[in-house]
Chains A and B, each alone.
Chain A
Amino acid sequence: MAPLYNPFIHDDGKKPTCMEMLQLIVDNQATDEQRTYFKQHMDNCLPCYKKYNVDMAVSELLKEKCSGENCPDDLVAQIKSKIKMMNA
């Protein structure tokens, strides 16, 4: 397969390291083009493949277990009534 253009390449032409590419992916900051490139890169790079799977699993776990604190209803009501008082 012909080598793809690397969309992670730095403005100064410097090649990105595996770690730099992986971080953009894991931090969810990569473009679609970068994602596609990275998927192909992982087929040939075992360290990236392993780290990617662990990091994504941790991130999923965080989303699943640490997002659930809902604001209590009484606080919503309290804020609304204080705002009303500020307007009165």
Chain B
Amino acid sequence: MELEDAPRQHYTENEKQDIFNQEFMPHIHSMYNFGYRLTLDRDDAKDLVQDTYLKAYRFIESFQKGTNAKAWLFRILKNSFINDYRKRSKEPNKIDYQEVETYYNSEEVDRQITPDLRVESLKDMIGDEISNALNSLDVDFRTVIILCDLEGFKYEEMAKILDIPIGTVRSRLHRARNLLKEKLKSYAKSMGYNNA
């Protein structure tokens, strides 16, 4: 996964082209979607995806043919986003993480803060509600939802992509889902579900 840490491979020009076309390019739509969901801007997403693919090609000998190309690419994109884009935005990374693993013992508290969202009210969300709710989450929470729900990564893969422990992946996902449901619940209310 590391750009520099993996034992350096040696590929011929043809092999490089094959890896790039057969192992990297098939993920371009997922990568673009990820870039768009991170930056919330189509032009920024394009730049981010292009940077990522050019970097991936430049460092292709750090990638071992036939291994997890998707996770490798996602990690490069996420790092580029942090280094190049997040820095640009004035907004500091402000959430207070409290990412303690004791969150499993907080079921009582959880019951109070987790809105009792109903499946019936979700069925009426046929517009942009879910997308807006996702976009409104802080980028760190948004990211784990994208990786898990949209891209189907395993905890271990997410931990590597994000450079955080698995326990943090789990607690972050848990909090992200609760925040998302709170948002959806407020949409449901505004749509007239009083008991949403």
**A58-B181, A63-B149 given; A19·B107 CB < 8 A:** yes
Residues from 49 to 74 in B contacting A, C-beta threshold 8 Å: 49-50, 53-54, 57-58
Interface residues of A in 5-59 (CB under 8 A from B): 17-20, 23, 26-29, 53-55, 57-59
- Count of A-B contacts with CB under 8 A? 99
Report chain A residues within 8 Å CB of B131.
Answer: 65-66
Contacts of B122 in A (CB 8 A): 54, 57-58, 61
A29 to B181, CA, bound (A): 20
Interface flags, A51-79, vs B, CB<8A=1, else 0: 00111011101110111111110011011
Could you mark each residue 121-132 of chain B with 1 if its beta carbon is under 8 Å from any beta carbon of chain A, else 0? 011010010110
The answer, yes or no, to whether B117 is at the interface (CB within 8 Å) is yes
Main secondary structure of the interface of A (DSSP, over half): helix
Q: A54-B119, A54-B181, A57-B122 are in contact. Are A67 and B33 (CB under 8 A)?
A: yes
Contact partner of B50 among A63, A69, A78, CB < 8 A? Answer: A78
Say yes or no: is A86 at the interface (Cβ < 8 Å to chain B): yes
Q: Contact: B177 with A28, CB < 8 Å? A: no
B20 contacts A83, CB within 8 Å? yes
**A-B interface, 8 closest residue pairs, ranked by CB to CB distance from nearest:** A71-B32, A69-B33, A69-B36, A57-B122, A71-B28, A61-B130, A65-B130, A62-B149
Given contacts A72-B46, A79-B50, A87-B13, 17 further A-B pairs with CB under 8 A are: A17-B104, A19-B104, A19-B107, A19-B110, A27-B173, A28-B148, A28-B152, A29-B155, A55-B177, A57-B123, A59-B149, A62-B150, A65-B128, A69-B45, A71-B32, A79-B53, A83-B20
29 contacts between A and B (CB under 8 A): A17-B104, A27-B173, A28-B149, A28-B152, A54-B118, A54-B119, A55-B177, A57-B119, A58-B117, A58-B177, A63-B149, A63-B150, A65-B128, A65-B130, A66-B33, A66-B131, A66-B150, A67-B150, A68-B33, A69-B29, A69-B45, A71-B28, A71-B32, A71-B49, A75-B32, A75-B50, A79-B50, A79-B53, A82-B50
